[in-house]
Amino acid sequence: MVQINAGSIIGQFGKRCKKVTEYLLAERAIHFVGSDAHDPVHRDYQILVDAYQYIRERYGKEYAQILFYINPQKIWQGEHVIVYDLNVGKNFQKISQKLFRKLKFIR
């Protein structure tokens, strides 16, 4: 299961992060969206509203509902989450390797 922060969806963490996020969303490889709102003074929950609207407009209402409502509720209730069959190609490997090198996870 994969969770992505709402800020990654709307580009808060830069173009590279958004590019990887877009790819994962297009492949339906994301299962949850988090707020990253550890500090409500500097990070409010509006970012979740913005991310939900973005996903709904770009990827459809059904996927947005799964990410923001259905899968979180399933976890809370101890049920299996909705997972799509992934068709992640070679492009994902290239994108992830570049990202990991940039973040110095792979040397």
What pLDDT shows up at residue 24? 87
| pTM assigned to the model | 0.77
Residue of 95 and 62 predicted with greater confidence: 62
- Which two three-digit tokens encode residue 56? 């709904």
Of 56 and 26, the one with more pLDDT:
56
Helix/strand/coil percentages in the chain, nearest 5: 55, 5, 40
Q: Which amino acid is at 76?
A: W
| pLDDT tens figures, 67-93 | 999 999 999 999 999 988 665 555 666
Q: How confident is the model at residue 100 (pLDDT cuts 50, 70, 90)?
A: low
Give the pLDDT mean for 54-76. Answer: 96
Instruction: Read off the pLDDT of each residue in 26-55 and give the average, rounded to a whole number.
Output: 85
